[in-house]
Structure formats: structure tokens, C-alpha cells
Amino acid sequence: MRALLQRVSEASVTVDGETIGQCGTGLLILVCAMHGDTEAEAERLAAKIAKLRIFPDEAGKMNRSLSDISGSALVISQFTLAADTSRGNRPGFSTAAEPETGRRLYAYFAQQMSALGIATETGRFGADMKVSLINDGPVTIWMES
């Protein structure tokens, strides 16, 4: 799985003008299941993200995790993280998991974040979503399982 993490002060996602998910201080997590991914990759990625020390401690150093700060997460499906831009001007997405597998692993990843004690909300898989965020730092990190 691939994930793009953005440390946020707040984030929200709307579909058809209705807010369907939001978070406060924490992470906006864009995730993409890749061909061959299983629940094991989703579990490892969620565990790593929950413990990743990218939040400031009392001295202002990135030394605290999402779990440490009791932060929240907004998880958004983002198949375009699989983009292959190595040829031509139009990205290819053939390395992304098939939609049903992607949907299942996206939901499983979000469940794993919740199971780790992270308050987690989601977007809607396959929907045309509008995502708003206030990037804190800014801190943006790319991860793969």
C-alpha cells in the first residue's frame, strides 16, 4: 500500500456538498492499495503510521506520534498515488489494485487505524470528493508498506 501523510491542524472531506468526514489535530492520510497488497500490508502501514514520530514535543522537535498526542485521522482513498508518469504525458494507473480489492483494503486500513486507538473518519471510496486541510508545518510524508 502507498500512503501520503499530511500533518494537519484540521481536515475535512465533502461529497455533493455534504461533509462526510473530518479530523482535528492529526493526519490526513491518502491511501492506495497496489496490485498484490493484502490485509498484512494494511496492518503494517497502519501500525507504522500510528507510531511515526512527526508531531512536536515540548521542545518543538518532531518526537511524538499520532498515538502520543491522541490525534485523529482522516483517511481518503486515492488511487492516483499509483500513477506511473515514466512515459508520455498521461499517467498510467495499472499498478493500482482492482477497485473491489482497493475498496476492501481501504476499509480495512481505516479499521486498523481505529483498532490502534486513533479516532478515524473516512471519505467515500470512488466518490468525487473535495478535501480541505490546514497543513501543519507543513509536514508531508510518503510511505509504502
List residues with catalytic annotation.
78-80
C-alpha distances (whole Å) from 107 to each of 32, 69, 75 are 11, 24, 9
Name 14's Cβ contacts closer than 8 Å, sequence gap at least 6: 20, 129, 130, 132
Half-sphere exposure of 119 (CA within 13 A, CB side): 11
Q: Are 3 and 54 contacting, i.e. CB atoms less than 8 angstroms apart?
A: no
